[in-house]
Structure formats: structure tokens, C-alpha cells
Chain A
Amino acid sequence: MGFEEVAHTADWSVRVWGKDLNELLSEAARAMNTLAGIQTSESPFLKRIFVFESGDEDSLLIAFLTELIYFQEQENLAFSIFDIKNRDQQVTVTMRGSKIRKIEKVVKAVTWHNLKIRHTLRGYETEIVFDV
């Protein structure tokens, strides 16, 4: 799994890949936190739950990253460990993270621009454009 930045004139674009959807989500979160320059404190891990009930993989990715932006803004929290369970058309993500000590950039939103999760030989891959 991994990510790399893709040139974009005004906003942020990243290519993200992982062997499965769970890895793709985790790596997309890591990419977003890295681009935002987030550093977390050494405080004990805090846990939050994100539940996604309907929609395609693209919708799940957007909703998941949007949830992270929300926690970042409202609770000053960033997550680094994700336990993802997919049962009966419902995805539950248990997110563990810490308080943010430093952040360089605010991510306004996760866009749908040219978003398409592709199933490739190396697993799952997509490009994401963030509005910053």
C-alpha cells in the first residue's frame, strides 16, 4: 500500500493504492494527514466509530475521509489505526488516534473530481482531489 502526490494547480491530488478496500481507506487517511502536516501527541489512543450504511465504494471513501475532517476540526483528533468490518451491506470502521499537536493545512473537503476506485493487479487504486 502507499500513496504519491499528483501535481494539481490549486488543490491537492493524491494517487492511493492498497491490496484491498481496507488498505485503500487506511492509506487514503494517511495521505490526507500527511498532506495536512498533522502531528499528534503522545497521549493515549482515543476511539471513535464510523458507520457507513449504503452506497458504492467511491461514496464510502468520500464519507470516510469527510468523517476524519470532521473529527479533526471538531475534536482536534487525528486517527492512524483503522479496524474495518464489512457485514450485511454495512461498513463499520473503528478508528483509533490521538489529539493533534500541530497541523499545517486545513482540508476543506474531499471532492468527487475524477474519483473512481479501480480494481487492478496490485489491488485497489484511486486518485483523490482535496479542496484546500
Chain B
Amino acid sequence: MKLEDLVQVSEIEWEIPRHFRADMRVPVRLFATREQLLQIVNDRSLEQAVNAATLPGLVGHVIVMPDMHQGYGFPIGGIAATEYPTGVISPGAIGYDINCGVRLLASTLEFQSVKDDLDTLATLLNNYCPSGVGKAGAMKINLRELDRLLEGGSHWAQKKGFATDADLARTEETGRLKDADPSKVSDRAKKRGQDQVGSLGAGNHFIEVEVVDQVFDQKAVQVMGLHQGCLTLQIHCGSRGLGHQVCTDYVQRFQASVKKYGINLPDRELVCAPMDTQEGKDYLGAMRAAANFAFANRQILAHSARRAFEEAFRGKSSAHLYQVYDITHNMGKIETHEVDGKEIMVCVHRKGATRAFGPGSHELPSEYREIGQPVIIPGSMGTASWVLVGTEESMTRAFGSSCHGAGRMMSRSKAKHEVRGDQLRKDLEAKGIKIRAGSLPGLAEEAPQAYKDVDMVVETVVKAGIAKKVARLKPVVVIKG
């Protein structure tokens, strides 16, 4: 696809019209600067967005964020809403890592007063929060208990002593999607998840300790309990092998469903089923169960991180980590949105896109209803992360969504070719960032130069009016699997 195929709507908004390809059901709307767009056209992400626009039951636009990049089937950074219940749900438009998301915790500790203890903290976090390839997990649970976890999510974790009321209140959907159905999750998926509860995994997942280095919205940081110079902790991970297997199972099953329901698609990864069919209902039940696994997983990791903080900063009452918010960026959610002047129920597929509800949303905890939903944007290792809030415009223009990160721009092979893991670690440590990594080649793949400029991504969504800046976070400890 070429730049000329897009219609410029404003300085940072572009459209691929519906007539671009005969099988498109809705147009594609992209938020990006011209510079970002020139980068985006280098891979096949726009073609994937056009493919996504062929899903039956779509309403409005397929929307893509400035951190968009090529994925499989559906582009990363994409949002698509299908009318509920007659429209389809597509597992590939949610992704294999169901409810991959980010949790931000904060302390009242001042960075300056604890900076000499960060090495100890890094080691303790690395010891208490299992990470890396394979089965490493904080706990192994039996299948009956796993079913309870799949139904309860963070509420299950609370019953086991891993969560507080405040944690649940400050988690999207309070950390439990209703109508999760463990009976729709295969035995194989459960077996994969059984001993991975409370583990980080590998790839781009991480735990970071950060310091608030810039404040943009004094009122919002106060409500969130942040302040300039305080220490925070971010957890990025998802539903591990259980979620991967749920998606694998249903992408396989839906290969037959599309034939059964006469759905033609340009890519088999986009297979789908109408939500009012048995197949659609089964996937919704299984996906919600996998999402609950991810909520519980991040909750237990948060519990382990609290233990590390309290041990590293023993005797300091301000060492407690309290929850700012937990959000998901790979999910299908049934929500009510205004489309063509009418409020309708839709399934919002977000794949590498964050829910960003504006002020007044009843889904938010009471303290956030006035300022809007916290949106946590992890940067690439060594660069800033951001705390934003959703706006009224995100509701009307992006199905209550925003970007999810910096977005990759360099392949993993190229990154490994251009960056040496040991050198990168030295460079980051010279900047004052403590690193604990399971694999040096893995570290090189996640090098900051493999990603777009997260600050520019944030500038674009802010300029588009779909999010507002609250604070910028600078990393001081990075734990990677």
C-alpha cells in the first residue's frame, strides 16, 4: 500500500476509504503524523488493517493507532467493533496472548532516598517474580482450583490472600470478566496454564521499576497517588500458555465455522463466528476465562513484587506498593458506544490497543470518574513510559481506545544483528538502569532502537484528542524473561 492510497483528514488523521477494496465493509481510520505514516507503510500493517475491515458486522471504522505495526491477520494497534450479537468475534483480532496488559503500582518512596538499594531490589524482584521460557511459575494448582481461577480472576487471587479490595477496584472490570466459562477451555490449555500462575514469561514481557520524572496534570497525579520523584512499578504480561492455547484451539475450530456461515475472508488468521452462534458463545466464554487467568497472573506477580519492595526497603513504611490501575490491551469486550447517533452494543476487538474511557464512565472506579481512565503506555526498555487518561473524544472517535506502547519498527533478527545483548546491558547500566535478563539475545531483540519513539506516539494520540498526558516515567530497574 502506498501513501497516495490514504486520504488525509487532518494533520494526524488519515483514512483508507471503503471503496479502496471491494470486500471492505467499513473504512479504516489511522491516527499518525506523516513521519509515522512513512514508517508504517514500510511493512504490511495497512494491508492487514484493510483485511480487518472485511469482518462481518463491523460498525464505524476500523481504527489504527500510531504505534501500529505488522502482526498476523489483524495489525497490532488495531481496533474493530462488531455489532452485538449478530456481528462476529474473531480470535485472531484479539491475539494469542489474551488479556496481555499492564499494571502500574506506585509507592511514596522517593527515588533519591533509595537509589543505592536498587540493585538489591532488582535481585529480589528477579528471585520472587518467576520469568523466562517454559514452565517457571510461582505456584502449581490443581484443575479444580484452576477452574475457580478462570471464573474468578483477581477475585480468586483475593480469596487466596494475594489482593486487596483497592487492587480489585483499580483493575479493568475489577479483574474478573463475567460469563467466563472454564468448560469451554480445552484440557490442553488448562494443562499449559496449571503451573504458570504468577509467572512473567518471556518475549516483550517485563517488570520495570520507574521514577516519575515529569508531571503534566497535577490533579490527575494526585488522584492516582503519584508525585514527581516517587518510585513506581510496572508489570507487563498476559495469559501465558493457557491463553495461547485457547486462541490456537478456536482459530482452528473457526476454520470450519466460516465455511458453515458463508463468511469469506482474505486471511485465514481472521476466521470468526457470529456471537449469537454456539461457536461464538463458546469462544467468548473461553476468552473471558483466559482473560481472568491473566488478571490473576498479574495480581500474583504484583503480590510477589510487593514482597520484594518490602524486603528491599525494610523498615520504610512508604515501601508499600498500591495499585494505580491494571489495563488490558489484547481483548474483545462487549461495550455500548454511540455509532451514527445511536447507542448500540458492540464487541470491541482491541489488539495492541488500550481501553481509554473518558470522564464520567460508569465502568471506572469512583475516584477516576472525574479525570478519566488511567492509560498506561509502556515504552521500550531504557526509554520513558507514560501515564495518560482517556477523554470524551476517545469515546466518540476510537471506541474508547488509545495506543498501547511504542510499537516495533525493526524485526527481531535485525535487532539481534545490530545490537549485542551484553553491550546493550552495559549501555543501559551506564544510564543507571539495573538489568536482570534471562537471555542476552532476547535482550537485544527488545533493544530501544527496535521500537518507535514512544514520546512521539504519545504526542500523536494527545494531539488527536483521544488521550491526555498525566505523567512520564523513567526506568531504573528492568526485569526481562
Contact = CB atoms under 8 A, between A and B. Distances in A.
Judge: A and B partners, yes or no.
yes
Contact of B134 (A62, A103, A109, A110): A103
Contacts of A104: 133, 439, 441-442
A60 B458 CA distance: 43
A66 B248 contact: yes
A62 B97 contact: no
Contacts of B134: 73, 76, 103, 106
A103 B192 contact: no
Contacts of A114: 267, 269
A105 B70 contact: no
B69 A37 contact: no
Interface string A93-132: 0000000000111101111111100000000000001011
Interface in A1-52: 5, 7-12, 37
Contact of B202 (A5, A58, A106, A112): A106
B192 A10 contact: no
Given A103-B133, A105-B442, A109-B247, A9 B192 contact: no
B73 A111 contact: yes
A87 B196 CA distance: 38
B269 A112 contact: yes
Contacts, number: 105
B192 A73 contact: yes
Given A103-B133, A106-B134, A112 B271 contact: yes
Contacts of B133: 103-106
Contacts of A7: 411, 413-414
B201 A106 contact: yes
A109 B410 contact: no
Contacts of A5: 413
A10 B69 contact: yes
Contacts of A90: none
Given A112-B73, A113-B72, A105 B269 contact: no
Given A103-B134, A105-B202, A112-B251, A131 B96 contact: yes
Contacts of A8: 43, 70, 411
A114 B44 CA distance: 12
Considering residues A5, A55, A103, which has the most beta carbons from chain B within 10 angstroms of its beta carbon? A103
Considering residues A5, A10, A104, A109, which has the most beta carbons from chain B within 10 angstroms of its beta carbon? A10
A81 interface: no
Contacts of A58: 268
Nearest to B95: A131
B71 A10 contact: yes
Contacts of B188: 70
A86 interface: no
B228 interface: no
Contacts of B271: 112
A39 to B, nearest CB: 12
A113 B269 contact: yes
A80 interface: no
A11 B445 CA distance: 11
Contacts of B445: 105
Contacts of B152: none
B191 interface: yes
A63 interface: yes
Interface residues of B, number: 44
B241 interface: yes
A94 B244 CA distance: 25
A102 B462 CA distance: 44
A131 B445 CA distance: 14
Contact of A112 (B92, B408, B410, B441): B92
A74 B187 CA distance: 13
Given A37-B441, A112-B251, A70 B192 contact: yes
Given A104-B441, A106-B133, A9 B252 contact: no
A11 B75 CA distance: 12
Contacts of B375: none
A74 B271 CA distance: 28
B412 interface: yes
A10 B76 contact: yes
Given A9-B43, A74-B135, A62 B252 contact: yes
Nearest to B352: A10
B70 A132 contact: no
B191 A74 contact: yes
A111 B412 CA distance: 17
Given A63-B252, A106-B134, A129 B97 contact: no
Interface string B239-251: 0010011011001
B73 A113 contact: yes
24 contacts: A5-B413, A7-B413, A9-B43, A9-B408, A9-B409, A9-B410, A10-B69, A11-B72, A58-B268, A59-B255, A73-B241, A74-B192, A104-B441, A104-B442, A105-B441, A109-B248, A111-B251, A112-B72, A113-B73, A114-B267, A129-B72, A131-B97, A131-B244, A132-B203
Give the top 3 A-B pairs by smallest Cβ distance, nearest first.
A113-B72, A112-B268, A111-B72
Given A63-B252, A76-B134, A106-B203, 5 more contacts: A106-B134, A109-B96, A112-B271, A113-B269, A132-B412
